[in-house]
Amino acid sequence: MAKVNIGLDAELVVEAMVLAGIGSPQDAVEAVVRDYIARGHRTETRTELKDRTLREADATPQEPQG
Protein backbone atom coordinates (compact mmCIF):
# COMPACT_ATOMS: atom_id res chain seq x y z
CA MET A 1 0.00 0.00 0.00
CA ALA A 2 1.29 3.45 -0.87
CA LYS A 3 1.95 5.89 1.97
CA VAL A 4 1.36 9.63 1.94
CA ASN A 5 3.02 12.13 4.24
CA ILE A 6 1.08 15.28 5.05
CA GLY A 7 1.36 18.06 7.58
CA LEU A 8 -1.51 18.57 10.02
CA ASP A 9 -2.21 21.02 12.81
CA ALA A 10 -0.96 19.35 16.00
CA GLU A 11 -4.08 20.39 17.93
CA LEU A 12 -6.27 18.58 15.41
CA VAL A 13 -4.22 15.44 15.67
CA VAL A 14 -4.22 15.51 19.47
CA GLU A 15 -7.99 15.99 19.50
CA ALA A 16 -8.43 13.07 17.08
CA MET A 17 -6.21 10.93 19.31
CA VAL A 18 -8.24 11.81 22.42
CA LEU A 19 -11.63 11.30 20.76
CA ALA A 20 -10.59 8.02 19.17
CA GLY A 21 -8.79 6.82 22.28
CA ILE A 22 -5.72 6.01 20.22
CA GLY A 23 -2.20 6.82 21.39
CA SER A 24 -0.49 6.99 18.00
CA PRO A 25 -1.03 10.12 15.87
CA GLN A 26 -0.86 8.17 12.63
CA ASP A 27 -3.27 5.48 13.83
CA ALA A 28 -5.72 8.09 15.12
CA VAL A 29 -5.78 10.03 11.85
CA GLU A 30 -6.10 6.80 9.87
CA ALA A 31 -9.05 5.73 12.06
CA VAL A 32 -10.77 9.09 11.53
CA VAL A 33 -10.31 8.90 7.74
CA ARG A 34 -11.56 5.30 7.62
CA ASP A 35 -14.62 6.25 9.69
CA TYR A 36 -15.32 9.21 7.40
CA ILE A 37 -15.15 6.99 4.33
CA ALA A 38 -17.38 4.32 5.90
CA ARG A 39 -19.93 6.97 6.87
CA GLY A 40 -19.94 8.22 3.28
CA HIS A 41 -20.61 4.71 1.99
CA ARG A 42 -23.47 4.24 4.47
CA THR A 43 -24.98 7.56 3.38
CA GLU A 44 -24.70 6.58 -0.29
CA THR A 45 -26.45 3.30 0.44
CA ARG A 46 -29.33 4.98 2.29
CA THR A 47 -29.84 7.68 -0.33
CA GLU A 48 -29.59 5.16 -3.16
CA LEU A 49 -32.39 3.06 -1.64
CA LYS A 50 -34.54 6.16 -1.12
CA ASP A 51 -33.89 7.39 -4.66
CA ARG A 52 -34.72 3.97 -6.10
CA THR A 53 -38.00 3.87 -4.15
CA LEU A 54 -38.94 7.35 -5.37
CA ARG A 55 -38.11 6.44 -8.97
CA GLU A 56 -40.23 3.29 -8.74
CA ALA A 57 -43.13 5.26 -7.28
CA ASP A 58 -42.88 7.79 -10.12
CA ALA A 59 -42.75 5.01 -12.71
CA THR A 60 -46.04 3.39 -11.66
CA PRO A 61 -49.05 4.70 -13.56
CA GLN A 62 -51.20 7.11 -11.60
CA GLU A 63 -54.95 6.49 -11.35
CA PRO A 64 -57.06 9.23 -12.84
CA GLN A 65 -58.01 11.83 -10.28
CA GLY A 66 -61.07 13.97 -10.35
Q: Which residue has the higher pLDDT, 25 or 54?
A: 25
Residue 13 CB-density burial (10 A; 0-12 exposed, 13-18 middle, 19+ buried): middle
Residues in the chain: 66
CA neighbor of 24 nearest in space, from 35, 36, 16, 33: 16
Compute the average pLDDT of residues 14-22: 95
Please report which confidence band the pLDDT of residue 15 belongs to, taking 50, 70 and 90 as the band edges.
Answer: very high
pTM score > 0.85 for this model?
no
Residue 30 CB-density burial (10 A; 0-12 exposed, 13-18 middle, 19+ buried): middle
pLDDT at 13 > cutoff 80: yes
